Structure formats: C-alpha cells, structure tokens
Structure 1
Amino acid sequence: MQVTVDVKGEDVLEVDAGADATYADLLSAVELSPHEVTVLVDGRPVPEDQPVSVDHVTVLRLVKGG
C-alpha cells in the first residue's frame, strides 16, 4: 500500500508500506524517530506500534531547533 506521509512544515513523501507495516515502520522509512515526532491520523495521535490502516498520515515534530 502506498502511504502519503505529510511531515508538517517540511516534506510530503510517498512510502510503500508492506501488509504488516506499523506507523514506526513509516517513520523509519522517512528517517524520523518516534522520539521526536507524533503520527496523526484524522487529526488524532496513533501509537507507533499500531498497524498502518490508512493511506495518508500527518507527522508533527515535537522538538525542532538548533
């Protein structure tokens, strides 16, 4: 399944998620850590270990700076 990963304020990426992919797998595919972001589905946070069941997610960075 193709999943659109919208990293708010940064990129919109397409990820090929396997049948048993989790939201943590999506984050890994776009080189983000679950410790620095939150995955939202329909505006609600989802656990990283939950299987991917949608074709579009929004990712919000929790900490950004330098």
Structure 2
Amino acid sequence: MNVTVEIVGEGTAEYDLPDDATYADLIREAGYHPQEASALVDGSPVPGDRVVDADEVRLLRLIKGGSTDGGSANGESVDGTSAESNA
C-alpha cells in the first residue's frame, strides 16, 4: 500500500507499506518512535495499533522538554539573562 505522509513542518514523503502495517509501523518507517509522533487522518488522531487504511496521513511530532527553573534549556531566562542571576 502506498501512503503519502506529511510530516508537519518537515515535508512530505511516500511510503510503500505491507497491507497489514499499523500506524505505529508507519511512524517507525518515517524514522520516529510511536511515542514521539501522532498519526492524523482527516485531522483526527488514530490509534497506533490500527491498520493503516488511509492514502494520506499527517504525522505530528510531539514536543517535549522544557525547564522547571523558569529559564530555557540553555540556562537563560526569557529576557536573555542567566537563569541563575534571576534566582
């Protein structure tokens, strides 16, 4: 089965999958772990264990991370000063 996949923010690719491939298989084929991306069909998320039944799928990469100290990952606060100097 040929599936056109739009990876949101990254572009579009074509994948040739076995007829029994699941959406989790498709996510892996695109280079992501199923916990890193969600498959969307007609704008709605689909379960990873469902067999792919759409010709067009969007993959939305899930964003994780952040800071618990009010600063960014590089140690600067939003205003550009050191997070340590703001403590």
Using CA pairs below 8 Å that are at least 6 residues apart, which structure has the higher relative contact order?
A: 1
The runs of at least 4 aligned residues of structure 1 exceeding 3 Å deviation read none
Structure-1-length-normalised TM-score: 0.90
Q: Where in structure 2 are there 5+ consecutive unaligned residues? A: 66-72, 74-87
Structure 1 residue 37: Cα displacement: 1.0
Q: Distance in 2 between matches of 1:36 and 1:24?
A: 11
Matches within 5 A, 1:1-66: 1-63=1-63
Identity of aligned residues (%): 50
Structure having the higher Rg: 2
> Unpaired segments of 5 or more residues in structure 1?
none
Q: When the two structures are aligned, how many residues end up with a matched partner?
A: 66
* Greater strand fraction, Structure 1 or Structure 2: 1
